[in-house]
Amino acid sequence: MVDRAATRRIRAIAWRDFRYTALTKSFLIGAILLPGIMFVAIPLLPMLIGSTSPPLQGRVVVIDPSNSMANSLEKSLPKTPQDTMNLEDDPSNSGPTEVALTVENVTDQTRKDEFRLQLMNSSLQALIIVTPNTDGPSVELLVPSEASPRHTTIMEKSLREAVTRMRVEQAQEDFDRMTKLMGRAAIDTRRVSPDGLESKENAQLRMLVPAGFMFLLWISVFTSGNYLLTSTIEEKSSRVMEVLLSAASPIELLTGKLVGQAGVAGVMLLMYGGVGLAGLGAAAMLDVVPLPHLLWLLVWFPLAYFTVAAIMVSIGSAVSDLREAQSLIGPAMMVLILPLILWMPIVDNPNGTLATVCSFMPPAAPFVMILRLTAANEPVPMWQAIAAVLVSASTVGVILWAGARIFRVGVLMQGKPPSPMELLRWIKAR
């Protein structure tokens, strides 16, 4: 009967903490509504981005005394809508654009003002002014104010190619041949494992995917941990804590608060993780997140949460306002931000000495291990993963035990905040 009554009280406290955090307007908008909109919108982005943009058509006037730029520009302009995508640094971010421009050459430079007026009233798509110099012509491109960035990019890159074409032809070389010779070679980079297996190498994804996992874990854990800290301080300063303790023991109250905020962290992990997977799915890149990575995330999430949450709630119970909490949080944060500082070296060499040592440094181990497990092309030795889980689980047990003792003593104390030595005495107290 006693156990059932305690369970009911813990469940009621957990629901109260969850409800006052997760069912507020700010949380619903930031953690539910916004990710939900992103989840629906992300799959539609490729269709919107990849759609055909408005055609680029009209007149282009080239003022060139040498009468050579206009011919080079006509040859350099895209011939088909698909050719416009080749002008982009990332063709996947744009759609094909139809180009239908007529290029007129004018040798009289005194007509600049006339064509500027036409540009201002949008009867011209572009005005190009070529000024001969001893080191080669200088080129000025003028576009109307309503010209889209996409159209301006097409004109800029076509004009740049036209200048290059003109220089090559003046040197009596074949432009198409020179373009093939100087073009960027396609390199297929693959990693070969000790077992002889080959895998596609993508340096950018190898850096970003592990960071995505770590920041997802970091944001969900520290957001709920911050809620625990602030709510505990507010309840203590407003004397609500005394009312709660009249109906439940300190351990029941602590357990309920930890369980309730675990639900908040789980909601954030689910929502923002779902948005990330939707984005990868829209880009047809879900293969960069294999199922074992997601399973490891579920393993490290509770270990990371209870580590951070126990620290936050015990500090919140020992102080009376947020300013006092900062001095006590500092030492713990110095260790917890270690994965953020060493993110690049760990991802660059996930099986190196630095990464291996940091994997067994509580309380940062969960964040370091999720980096290693999602970054390594070669599997992290299983004994290291299991050992890191055991170390983190032991750390959680110790921190929860110490946090419970601090919570029991500090939850009803007011006045001067305790020093680190006083906290140690609280932990040792019977």
The structural domains of the chain, with segments of one domain joined by +, span 54-178, 203-428
How many Å apart are CA 414 and CA 393, to the nearest integer? 33
The tokens 């003046």 sit on which residue? 170
C-beta atoms surrounding 210 within 10 Å: 22
pLDDT of res. 123: 84
pLDDT of res. 306: 93
C-beta atoms surrounding 366 within 10 Å: 33
pLDDT of res. 390: 94
Q: What is the pTM of this model?
A: 0.70
Q: Residue 426: which residues within 8 A CB-CB, separation 6 or more?
A: 318, 405, 406, 409, 410, 418
How many Å apart are CA 70 and CA 130, to the nearest integer? 10
pLDDT of res. 366: 92
Q: Please state the φ and ψ torsions of residue 131, each to the nearest 5 degrees.
A: -115, 115
Q: In a 10 Å sphere around its CB, with 0-12 CB exposed, 13-18 middle and 19+ buried, how is residue 324 labelled?
A: middle
Residue 277 Cα distances to 9, 145, 376, angstroms: 37, 39, 20
pLDDT of res. 199: 58
Q: How many residues does the chain have?
A: 430
Q: In a 10 Å sphere around its CB, with 0-12 CB exposed, 13-18 middle and 19+ buried, how is residue 38 labelled?
A: middle
Q: Nearest 5 degrees, angle CA 81-CA 86-CA 88?
A: 105
Q: Where on the phi/psi map is residue 112: left (φ > 0), alpha (ψ -120 to 50), or beta?
A: alpha
Per-residue confidence in pLDDT tens, the chain, 430 aa: 457 888 898 899 899 889 888 888 888 887 778 877 877 776 666 555 555 567 888 889 998 888 888 888 888 888 887 777 766 655 555 567 788 888 888 888 888 888 888 888 888 888 888 887 776 678 889 888 888 888 888 888 888 888 888 888 777 777 777 777 676 766 666 666 556 666 565 666 667 888 889 999 999 999 898 889 888 888 888 888 888 888 888 888 999 999 999 999 999 999 888 888 877 776 666 767 888 888 999 999 999 999 999 889 888 888 888 787 877 787 778 878 888 888 888 888 888 888 899 889 888 899 999 999 888 667 888 999 999 999 999 999 998 998 888 888 888 777 777 777 888 888 887 6
pLDDT of res. 236: 84
Q: Are 387 and 408 in contact (CB under 8 A)?
A: no
In 102-148, which ranges are continuous DSSP H helix? 112-120
pLDDT of res. 281: 72
Name the class of domain 54-178: alpha beta
pLDDT of res. 1: 45
pLDDT of res. 304: 93
How many Å apart are CA 44 and CA 310, to the nearest integer? 41
Q: Are 372 and 380 in contact (CB under 8 A)?
A: yes
pLDDT of res. 90: 52
249-301 pLDDT tens trace? 888 899 999 999 999 999 999 988 888 887 777 666 676 788 888 899 999 99
